């Protein structure tokens, strides 16, 4: 029997990294375009350039996947569909990677015939999600980075025929669960779901007051499964090993791809393993961690006391008596290398492209950035380099490319998306008060139909607390994340809820529709954590059996008012309440729940545990209730309040100061990038 041989899938943020991946022996390359990419900070590719590169890769047996893994906004359908149309005709990639299920609908309309891969941002975290993904036409699901080996095997056992699984084996880790982070958006309207994350989790935070030591409480080390990939060779459903790093250079791509190809092809050779580990160490990433991959030996990926900057430390800043700053290097530096001083949240941070070779022990003078020089002992990191050998390989490949027929950019597509049928207006408008804690959920629930409806987390304790007579009136909310081992328990709770008369269920992810065999017998509504932000996505949810949806509160006011006119199903919206910065499974032991955490700009956050996850909240509530009349006029059918109890430190502060807690309209006025 032949050994299972998963593909090695390499990142490419620019042309040089693409060619480095081919040179290193990658089986597949994933990349993004200038628009609709979850790594908008990368250089990315134009269609003409990409068409030539795809032809070049295909001639060498390398597959190419295009990531269009962003959230669609109300006005995006024509541009995204037109781009998909041009991509299908000009480039013909092997697959597209999508987060927003509305893009699957647009891909069909545009005539895209390649594979559909479901991004990790789509949050397909439990077995039933796999069957639902296959039903939508997907051929692959990218698994969450938080899964351990046992959970990967659980997902593999549930994987239906015709579907493959992709697993991250190396690269940067997000602190929050993919698709469940609004941190960057809260702190400035730059959405991680739109590819513009400013990485607030990498900043220095203080817990225990403004005089406490600032630490990187939420900054993760890089995932590096390295030798732990060997057990995956016995899991044939895992068809792809994915390397993260579309913002990395060719050095990183070449070294890491080479290392994992060696680990896959000769897993039993100790000498090869040692060489592969050495290559990974030289790849200039952050310090590596196996994370939670070994369930019996988890390794916390957040180590606040350690530096988590990427790159190899190349020296420390020194200062002359006259004030000049310089670095004495710890190793040879080459022309074209990139040196970074400090971290991005340091005011004197800068990246220096080297124009000449600096030998080990040589001196590099530092010019002030923005008028500021780095302090003594500030670290200098080598974050990318240009070895002559690799540069010669890439130059030879460039000559081969130049000899190929170059594909010119073509005129804009005339693609027009099919407009979903608008939902009929529903009256009366319903108001749902959602209590996020199940304790006491049934108290006061028998009210003869007066007042707002009640929404409750679907847990057995809450189910037993509610009288049978009103169970059918409750809106039962499923959690935003269900992990593989949790699905069976939730299926049992759903069965008991149905037996007690429950019929209204709010889904925490669209894949949770796969947990209902008879969707016509219940009312399924996509909850706000499903991140619905376009009419195309609402139409896709309708095809999955959902009778309505709460929209993402991340959008601007203009976009929120536009959405009901595009949707084929009734829409709801969260009016007020605590909306999380993010949801995480990997909280550092140093972070204490229910206590104040301060950002460098003194923004307040706090953490609360719900089930197996930790929710990171801002120190203020979302409140757009002042716009309710506009929203009703726009056509919203449901409104929800999320009643999360204040943490004690906020209650105490409110009592002592007599001030009402601060609120925010999120991106209502400032807009969303």
On whether the CB atoms of residues 133 and 159 are closer than 8 A, the answer is no
pLDDT of 300: 82
Give yes or no for residue 620 having a pLDDT over 70: yes
Confidence of residue 192 (pLDDT cuts 50, 70, 90): very high
Question: What is the CB-side half-sphere exposure of residue 568 using CA atoms within 13 A?
Answer: 16
Overall average pLDDT of the 544-556 stretch: 96
Residues 227 and 136 in one domain: yes
First to last CA, the chain: 51
Residue 263 placed within a domain: yes
User: For residues 199 and 286, what is the distance between their CA atoms, to the nearest angstrom?
Assistant: 15
Q: What distance in Å separates the CA atoms of residue 199 and residue 578, rounded to the nearest whole number?
A: 21
Confidence check: pLDDT of 314 > 80:
yes
Counting residues of the chain whose pLDDT is more than 90, the rounded percentage is 78
pLDDT exceeds 60 at position 439: no
- The residues with which 317 forms a beta bridge, in sequence order, are 327
Domain assignment of residue 415, yes or no: no
Residues 349 and 475 reside in one and the same domain: no
Report the half-sphere exposure of 112 (CA within 13 A, side-chain side).
Answer: 34
Predicted confidence (pLDDT) per residue in 138-148, tens digit: 999 999 999 99
- Label residue 655 by pLDDT band (50, 70, 90): confident
Backbone angles phi, psi at 77, to 5 degrees: -60, -45
Task: Say yes or no: 375 and 478 in one domain.
Answer: no
Distances (CA, A) of 317 to 305, 372, 378: 21, 13, 5
Q: Would the pLDDT of 637 be above 70? A: yes
Please report which confidence band the pLDDT of residue 438 belongs to, taking 50, 70 and 90 as the band edges. Answer: very low
> What average pLDDT does range 62-82 have in this prediction?
95
Same domain membership, residue 504 and residue 470: yes
117/40 same-domain check: yes
Q: Is residue 395 domain-shared with residue 370, that is, in the same domain?
A: no
What is the tally of structural domains in the chain? 3
State the average pLDDT over residues 116-137: 98
Residue 437 has pLDDT above 80, yes or no: no
Q: Does residue 427 carry a pLDDT above 70? A: no
Assess if residue 424 is contained within a domain.
no
Q: What is the pLDDT of residue 547?
A: 95
395 and 444, same domain (yes or no) = no
pLDDT at 100 over 80: yes
Instruction: Please count the residues of the chain.
Output: 673
pLDDT the model gives residue 188: 76
pLDDT at 448 over 50: no
Which pLDDT does position 423 carry in this prediction?
66
Residues 539 and 615 in one domain: yes
User: Are 259 and 371 within one domain?
Assistant: no
Q: Which of 181-190, 362-371, 539-548 has the lowest mean pLDDT?
A: 362-371
* pLDDT greater than 70 at residue 447: no
pLDDT band at 42 (very low <50, low <70, confident <90, very high): low
Q: Are 251 and 384 within 8 A, CB to CB?
A: yes
Q: Does residue 443 lie in a domain region?
A: yes
pLDDT of 450 over the 70 cut: no
How many Å apart are CA 622 and CA 576, to the nearest integer? 5
CB atoms within 10 A of CB 3: 10
Q: What is the pLDDT of residue 298?
A: 82
Longest Cα–Cα distance of the chain, Å, equals 82
Residue labelled with tokens 């961690």: 289
Dihedral of the alpha carbons of 253, 254, 255, 260, in degrees to the nearest 10 = 80
At residue 297, does pLDDT exceed 70? yes
Q: Strand, coil or helix: what is 31?
A: strand
As beta bridge partners, residue 369 has 372
| Residue 265, token pair as written in the block | 């092809």
Q: What is the DSSP string of 554-569?
A: TS-HHHHHHGGGG-SS
The CATH number of the domain holding residue 45 is: 3.20.20.70
| 363 and 232 housed in the same domain | no
Block residue for tokens 């690799």: 390
The CATH number of the domain holding residue 549 is 3.20.20
The CATH number of residue 345's host domain is 2.40.30.10
Angle at 643 between CA 641 and CA 648, to 5 degrees: 150
Same domain, 99 and 15: yes
| Interval 201-223: pLDDT, tens | 999 999 987 788 999 999 999 99
pLDDT in tens, 316-346: 999 988 788 999 999 999 999 999 998 877 8
For residue 382, pLDDT beyond 60: yes
Q: Is the pLDDT of residue 467 over 80?
A: yes
Please give the Cα distance from 299 to 258 (Å, whole number). Answer: 25
Q: What is the mean pLDDT of residues 302-306?
A: 86
CA distances from 208 to 591, 592, 604, 648 (A): 10, 9, 12, 14
Tell whether omega for the bond before 602 is within 30 degrees of 0, i.e. cis.
no
Q: Which two tokens stand for residue 637?
A: 């059918």
Q: For residue 660, is pLDDT > 80? A: no
Residue 204 domain flag: no
Nearest CA-CA partner of 523 in 508, 504, 507: 504
Buried b (16+ CB within 10 A) or exposed e, 611-641: eebbbbbbbbbbbbeebbeebeebbbbbbbb
Q: Residue 65 domain-assigned? A: yes
| Domain end point (choices 384, 416, 444) | 384
Q: Report the mean per-residue pLDDT for the chain.
A: 91
191 within a domain of the structure (yes/no)? no
State how far the Cα of 505 lies from the Cα of 579, in Å rounded to an integer. 20
Reported confidence tier of residue 187, pLDDT bands at 50, 70, 90: confident
Q: Of 339, 335, 336, give the one whose Cα is nearest residue 352.
A: 339
Q: Is-contact 171 244, C-beta < 8 A? A: yes
Give the global pTM. 0.94
Q: Assign 1 a pLDDT band (cuts: 50, 70, 90).
A: very low
- Burial label, 485 (beta-carbon count in 10 A; 0-12, 13-18, 19+): middle
398 and 368 in one domain?
A: no
**Cβ atoms within 10 Å, residue 412:** 11
Domain extent, residue 374, equals 312-384
Q: What value does the mean pLDDT take over residues 431-453?
A: 57
pLDDT at 118 > cutoff 90: yes
Q: Which of 79, 66, 82, 55 shows the shortest CA–CA distance to 12?
A: 66
Does some domain include residue 192?
A: no
Q: Are 312 and 382 in contact (CB under 8 A)?
A: yes
């Amino acid at each position: 029997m032949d050994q299972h041989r998963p593909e090695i899938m390499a990142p490419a943020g620019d042309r040089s990294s693409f060619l480095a991946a081919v040179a290193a022996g990658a089986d597949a390359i994933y990349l993004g375009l200038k628009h609709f990419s979850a790594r908008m900070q990368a250089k990315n590719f134009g269609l003409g350039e990409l068409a030539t590169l795809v032809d070049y890769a295909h001639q060498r047996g390398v597959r190419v996947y295009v990531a269009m893994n962003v959230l669609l906004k109300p006005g995006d359908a024509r541009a995204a569909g037109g781009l998909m149309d041009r991509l299908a005709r000009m480039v013909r990639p092997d697959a597209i990677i999508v987060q927003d299920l509305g893009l699957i609908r647009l891909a069909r309309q545009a005539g895209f015939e390649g594979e559909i891969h479901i991004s990790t941002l789509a949050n397909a975290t439990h077995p039933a999600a796999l069957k639902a993904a296959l039903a939508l036409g997907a051929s692959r699901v990218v698994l969450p980075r938080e899964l351990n080996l046992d959970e990967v095997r659980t997902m593999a056992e549930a994987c239906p025929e015709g579907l493959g699984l992709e697993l991250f084996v190396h690269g940067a880790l997000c602190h929050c669960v993919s698709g469940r982070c609004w941190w960057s958006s809260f702190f400035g309207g730059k959405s991680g779901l739109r590819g513009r994350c400013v990485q607030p989790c990498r900043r220095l935070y203080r817990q225990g007051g403004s005089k406490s030591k600032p630490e990187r409480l939420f900054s993760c080390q890089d995932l590096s499964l390295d030798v732990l990939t060997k057990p995956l060779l016995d899991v044939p459903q895992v068809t792809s090993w994915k390397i993260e790093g579309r913002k990395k250079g060719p050095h990183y791509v070449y070294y890491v791809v080479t290392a994992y190809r060696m680990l896959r092809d000769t897993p039993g050779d100790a000498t090869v393993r040692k060489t592969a580990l050495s290559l990974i160490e030289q790849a200039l990433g952050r310090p590596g961690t196996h994370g939670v991959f070994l369930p019996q030996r988890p390794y916390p990926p957040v180590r606040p006391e350690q530096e988590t900057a990427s790159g190899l430390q190349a020296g420390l800043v020194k200062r002359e008596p006259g004030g000049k700053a310089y670095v004495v290097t710890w190793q040879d530096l080459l022309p074209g290398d990139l040196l970074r001083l400090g971290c991005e949240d340091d005011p004197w941070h800068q990246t220096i492209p080297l124009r000449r070779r600096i030998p080990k022990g040589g001196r590099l003078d530092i010019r002030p950035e923005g008028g500021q020089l780095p302090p003594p002992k500030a670290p200098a990191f080598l974050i990318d380099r240009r070895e002559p050998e690799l540069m010669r390989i890439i130059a030879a490949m460039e000559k081969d490319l130049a000899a190929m027929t170059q594909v010119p950019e073509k005129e804009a597509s005339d693609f027009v998306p099919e407009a979903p049928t608008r939902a009929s207006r529903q009256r009366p408008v319903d108001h749902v008060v959602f209590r996020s804690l199940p304790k006491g959920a049934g108290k006061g629930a028998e009210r003869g139909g007066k007042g707002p409806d009640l929404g409750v987390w679907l847990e057995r304790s809450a189910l037993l607390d509610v009288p049978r007579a009103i169970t059918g009136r409750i809106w039962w909310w499923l959690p935003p994340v269900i992990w593989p081992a949790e699905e069976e328990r939730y299926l049992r709770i759903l069965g008991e809820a149905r037996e007690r008369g429950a019929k209204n269920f709010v889904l925490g992810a669209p894949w949770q529709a796969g947990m209902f065999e008879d969707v016509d017998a219940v009312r399924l509504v996509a909850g706000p954590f499903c991140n619905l932000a376009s009419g195309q996505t609402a139409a896709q949810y309708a095809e999955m059996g959902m009778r309505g949806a709460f929209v993402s509160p991340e959008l601007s006011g203009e976009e929120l008012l536009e959405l009901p006119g595009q949707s084929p199903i009734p829409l709801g919206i969260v009016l007020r309440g605590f909306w999380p910065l993010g949801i995480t499974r990997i909280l550092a032991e140093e972070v204490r729940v229910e206590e104040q955490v301060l950002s460098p700009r003194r923004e307040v956050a706090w953490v609360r545990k719900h089930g197996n996850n930790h929710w990171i909240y801002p120190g203020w509530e979302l409140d757009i209730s002042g716009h309710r009349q506009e929203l009703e006029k726009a056509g919203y059918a449901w409104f929800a309040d999320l009643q999360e109890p204040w943490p004690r430190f906020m209650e105490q502060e409110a009592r002592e100061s007599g001030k009402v807690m601060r609120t925010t309209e999120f991106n209502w006025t400032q807009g969303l990038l």
